[in-house]
Amino acid sequence: MTEKNVVTAVRDALHDEMANDERIVLLGEDVGARGGVFRISDGWMAEFGEERVIDTPLAESGIVGIAIGMALHGLLPVAEIQFADFIHPAFDQVVSEAARLRYRSNGDFGVPMVIRTPYGGGIHGALYHSQSIEAFYAHIPGIKVVVPATPGDAAGLLRSAIQDPDPVLFLEHKKTYRSIKGEVADGAYLTPIGVAEVKQEGDDLTCISYGYSLHLCLDAAHRLAEDEGASVEVVDVRTLAPLDVDTIVSSVRKTGKAMVVYEDNRTYGAGAEIASTIAEQALFDLDAPILRIGGPDIPAMPFAAPLEHYFMEPEPDHIYARMRELARA
């Protein structure tokens, strides 16, 4: 085991996969000579060559479109979108082509590609460097949406994403890159896509989250245990599509109370789907209404620190207060 932060875990896992399989190609804006905005691929152009580490024009639809073509011709492309906010020009390529090609070809063709992109707020990125985009793509059958929260999961899930026969959107929360550290197992281990994990066992209520918000939930759960002796079970979904319904429902049936926490706009967010699934499958096991905490329904995250703090409503004190309220219900 080695302690790493999230960005180092991503870098090491991707590097080792590229070293072990020459079919893997990295392409994106500034990934080559510059080594990427977050320096993940620093030095890789010299190590792997310009044919495998490719600097692209500022054209996200082209990046994803080229990656689809590569995947159809035997390569395993990893397309980096510099920030998730910039992925929208590629929406049609992702949704109409990559996600649907296996279905439309009756299984004759697959698109084994990964789209890596940093998402989320909390680093003063303002309007165009803070968006949470997961709900748009989790809505589309045919593409998997992965949202690791810890270094160990980031490494294991990235390897699984690269080896998956279908397209995977791999979302890395920027706030976790250097602020979250953890033990990473040695070797090329795989973390299965579509399997949630109980990060903390508990009996009094279930808190379901993902990405950076998961760590805020864990902090709130520890405080509640110290202050009031309440035992909170914290579930990390890890994958939004496919969603591990069994783990979520099993936990809620065990504790009898559920809250869902996510950073994205609250309305129509991924948490709404999780909450509705709980209501469908475990309504009569609940001792209180499902509590859902999400970001405010305003168009974008402001730059000013107080307003950014307000937008990222799922912050520790707010989560703690609502968690305590639910535990007392």
Work out the average pLDDT over 230-249: 98
Render pLDDT for 143-175 as a digit per residue (tens, 0 to 9).
Answer: 999 999 999 999 999 999 999 999 999 999 999
Local confidence band at 314 (pLDDT 50, 70, 90 cut-offs): low
Dmax over CA atoms of the chain, in Å, equals: 60
Work out the average pLDDT over 202-223: 96
Local confidence band at 312 (pLDDT 50, 70, 90 cut-offs): confident
pLDDT at residue 308, as a whole number: 85
CA 315 – CA 217 distance, rounded (Å): 9
Pick the closest to residue 142 from 186, 177, 93 (CA basis). Answer: 93
- Is the pLDDT score of 316 beyond 80? no
pLDDT at residue 310, as a whole number: 80
pLDDT, the chain, mean? 95
Percent of the chain clearing pLDDT 70 (strictly above): 99
Torsion, Cα of 247, 260, 154, 43 (10° steps): 160
Local confidence band at 211 (pLDDT 50, 70, 90 cut-offs): very high
User: Is there a contact between 297 and 116 (Cβ–Cβ < 8 Å)?
Assistant: no
pLDDT at residue 256, as a whole number: 97
318 is catalytic: no
Locate tokens 């509705």: which residue? 276
Spatial CB neighbours of 106, under 8 Å, sequence gap ≥ 6: none
Amino acid at 254: K
pLDDT at residue 64, as a whole number: 98
Handedness of CA 195, 199, 203, 205 (dihedral sign): negative
Work out the average pLDDT over 11-35: 97
Spatial CB neighbours of 9, under 8 Å, sequence gap ≥ 6: 151, 152, 154, 155, 184
pLDDT at residue 227, as a whole number: 94
User: Is there a contact between 136 and 91 (Cβ–Cβ < 8 Å)?
Assistant: yes
pTM: 0.96
CA 30 – CA 264 distance, rounded (Å): 27
Domains of the chain from N-terminus onward: 2-184 (3.40.50.970), 197-328 (3.40.50.920)
Render pLDDT for 55-107 as a digit per residue (tens, 0 to 9).
Answer: 999 999 999 999 999 999 999 999 999 999 999 999 999 999 999 999 999 99
Amino acid at 275: A
User: Is there a contact between 176 and 214 (Cβ–Cβ < 8 Å)?
Assistant: no
Local confidence band at 311 (pLDDT 50, 70, 90 cut-offs): confident
Render pLDDT for 286-300 as a digit per residue (tens, 0 to 9).
Answer: 999 999 999 999 898
pLDDT at residue 122, as a whole number: 85
Percent of the chain clearing pLDDT 90 (strictly above): 91
- Is the pLDDT score of 313 beyond 70? no
pLDDT at residue 11, as a whole number: 98
CA 84 – CA 112 distance, rounded (Å): 20
Sheet with 76-80: strands ordered across: 53-55, 24-28, 76-80, 114-119, 168-173, 144-146, 239-241
- Is the pLDDT score of 128 beyond 80? yes
Render pLDDT for 176-198 as a digit per residue (tens, 0 to 9).
Answer: 999 999 999 999 999 999 999 99
Which residue among 15, 129, 173, 215 is the active-site one?
Answer: 129
Pick the closest to residue 237 from 265, 282, 267, 269 (CA basis). Answer: 269
